[in-house]
Amino acid sequence: MVKLRLRRMGAKKRPSYRIVAADSRSPRDGAFIESVGFYDPITDPATINVNLDRARHWINVGAQPTDTVRSILKRAGVYAEAAE
C-alpha cells in the first residue's frame, strides 16, 4: 500500500521534511516513489510547499496520508477543491 508521509531532511536539531509517496513497508527515510511537497516547521509561520495536482493524484489512486500529512495537506488546500 502506498502512503503519503514525511521524510526527514535537514541538519541535526534543524529538521525539515519532504512529503513523499512511499510504500508503507519502506523505512521512514528509505526509498520513495515520488516527492510531492516540502514542509519546514521551524520557520514562522511554517513553510508548506505542495504540488497540489500530484498530491490529489496520489489520494485519488488510493494513497493513504498519515495523520500529520493529512493536516498539512488540509492547510495547503489539497482537500478544499474536493469538498466543493
* pLDDT tens-digit map of 21-60: 999 999 999 999 999 999 999 999 999 999 999 999 999 9
Q: Which of 45, 41, 42, 43 is nearest to 68 (CA)?
A: 41
- φ, ψ dihedrals at 23, nearest 5°: -65, 140
Q: Which 8-state DSSP code applies to residue 69? A: H
**Residue 83 pLDDT level (bands cut at 50, 70, 90):** very low
Q: Which of 37, 40, 39, 79 is nearest to 54 (CA)?
A: 37
Question: pTM to 2 decimals?
Answer: 0.87
Contact 12, 74 (CB under 8 A): no
* Helix and strand numbers, DSSP H then E, in the chain: 3, 5
Mean pLDDT of the chain: 91
Domain covering 2-83: architecture:
2-Layer Sandwich (3.30)
